[in-house]
C-alpha cells in the first residue's frame, strides 16, 4: 500500500524482516570536502539527506554547548557511470522481463555500493549518529519485478525508492539510526516545532549555514539542513 512510513531503525522504525538492497563497498565521488575540522568539540552529528535520481545532497550538523554547528555539505553520486538513473520507469518497461530483471539488478548493485561508500566516507570524517530523510511512498516494493512494472503507481515510486532506501540501508548497516519524516512535509516546520521557535528563525539559521558553507547552497541543502535540525532541535538553545 502506498504512503506508508518506511523507517529502518530508530524513531519511526524498524519493521522487522524488512530487506531493502544488498550492500557492498566502492569509492563514491564527493564534490565538497569537509568544511570544518573534525576536532571541533561538538556532540554526535546528524546527517540530513535530500535524495534524487543518481545523487544525494548531504548536510551534517551537530550541537555544541547548546548552539547548532554546521559541519559538512557534500554531494554524493549514487550510481555508476553509464547506467540508467531511472530503470524502472524507462528502460525496464521497454525490455522483456529477463533483460529488465538483469538491468534492474545491475543498477541496484551499483546504487547499493555507492550508497555504502558515501556513508562510510562520511563516517571516516564525522562522528555521526543518525541519518534523516523523507519516508518513501510505500514500505517496500513487491519481490516480483513484473508486478512492479505492471503497476503505474509502483513504477513511478520505484526509482526514487531505489536511491532513498539504498542510502537508508547503508546507514543502518554501518551503525547509524535512520529516521524518516513524512513525505510532502516541510522539515523546516518540524525543526521550528522541535526548537520551539518560529519558522523564520529556522530559515535564518539555515541561511547562516549557507554563508558558512559557501555556494552552492540550494533548496536541497536547505531541506537537508532543516531535516537535521528537526532531530537536533531539543538540544538547541538560541
Residue 50 confidence (pLDDT) above 80:
yes
User: Who contacts 189 (Cβ-Cβ below 8 Å, separation ≥6)?
Assistant: 199
* Predicted local distance difference test score (pLDDT) of residue 238: 77
Residues 6+ apart with CB under 8 A from 6: 13, 15, 18, 135, 136, 138, 139, 140, 165, 168, 180
Helix (H) or strand (E) holding 177: strand 177-181
Residue 34 pLDDT > 90, yes or no? no
CATH of domain 45-185: 3.30.420.10
User: For residue 39, is pLDDT > 50?
Assistant: no
For residue 100, the model assigns a pLDDT of: 97
> Domain ranges in the chain?
45-185
pLDDT tens-digit map of 93-119: 999 999 999 999 999 999 999 999 999
| Distance, C-alpha 74 to centroid of its chain | 12
Residue 139 phi, psi dihedral angles, 5° rounding? -65, -40
Q: What is the pLDDT of residue 139?
A: 83
pLDDT tops 80 at residue 37: no
Assess contact for 8 and 18: CB atoms under 8 A.
yes
Pick from 32-36, 97-101, 146-150: least confident: 32-36
pLDDT score of 4 more than 60: no
* pLDDT tens, position by position, 59-100: 999 999 999 999 999 999 999 999 999 999 999 999 999 999
Classify residue 56 as left (phi > 0), alpha (psi -120 to 50) or beta.
beta
Residue 36's pLDDT is: 37
Q: How far apart are CA 74 and CA 57, in angstroms?
A: 6
Say if pTM beats, i.e. exceeds, 0.85: no
Is the pLDDT score of 8 beyond 70?
Answer: no
Sign of CA dihedral 13, 108, 142, 56: positive
What long-range pairs does 60-63 form, CB within 8 A, spacing at least 24? Answer: 60/122, 60/126, 60/128, 60/228, 61/209, 61/225, 61/228, 61/229, 61/232, 62/126, 62/232, 63/232, 63/235, 63/236
132: DSSP letter: E
Share of the chain above pLDDT 90, in %: 79
User: Binning pLDDT at 50, 70 and 90, where does residue 216 land?
Assistant: very high
Q: Is the pLDDT of residue 35 over 50?
A: no
- Specify the residue for cell string 529488465: 100
Residue-wise pLDDT for 159-194, tens only, equals 999 999 999 999 999 999 999 999 999 999 999 999
Q: Averaging pLDDT over each range in 24-28, 34-38, 128-132, 142-146, which range is the top one?
A: 128-132
Amino acid at each position: 500500500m502506498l504512503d506508508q512510513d518506511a523507517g529502518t531503525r530508530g524513531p519511526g522504525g524498524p519493521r522487522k524482516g524488512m530487506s531493502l538492497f544488498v550492500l557492498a563497498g566502492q569509492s563514491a565521488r564527493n564534490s565538497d570536502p569537509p568544511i570544518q575540522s573534525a576536532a571541533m568539540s561538538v556532540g554526535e552529528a546528524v546527517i540530513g539527506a535530500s535524495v534524487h535520481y543518481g545523487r544525494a545532497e548531504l548536510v551534517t550538523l551537530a550541537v555544541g554547548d547548546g548552539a547548532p554547528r554546521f559541519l559538512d555539505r557534500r554531494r554524493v553520486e549514487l550510481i555508476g557511470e553509464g547506467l540508467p538513473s531511472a530503470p524502472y520507469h524507462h528502460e525496464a518497461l521497454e525490455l522483456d522481463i529477463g533483460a529488465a530483471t538483469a538491468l534492474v539488478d545491475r543498477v541496484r548493485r551499483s546504487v547499493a555500493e555507492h550508497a555504502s561508500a558515501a556513508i562510510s566516507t562520511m563516517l571516516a570524517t564525522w562522528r555521526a549518529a543518525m541519518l534523516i530523510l523523507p519516508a518513501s511512498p510505500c514500505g517496500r516494493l513487491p519481490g516480483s519485478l513484473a508486478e512492479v512494472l505492471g503497476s503505474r503507481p509502483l513504477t513511478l515510486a520505484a526509482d526514487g525508492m531505489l536511491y532513498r532506501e539504498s542510502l537508508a540501508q547503508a546507514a543502518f548497516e554501518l551503525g547509524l539510526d535512520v529516521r524518516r519524516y513524512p513525505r510532502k512535509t516541510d522539515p523546516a516546520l518540524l525543526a521550528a516545532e522541535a526548537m520551539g521557535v518560529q519558522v523564520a528563525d529556522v530559515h535564518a539559521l539555515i541561511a547562516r549555514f549557507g554563508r558558512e558553507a559557501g555556494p552552492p547552497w540550494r533548496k536541497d541543502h536547505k531541506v537537508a539542513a532543516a531535516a537535521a535540525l528537526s532531530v537536533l532541535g531539543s538540544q538547541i538553545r538560541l
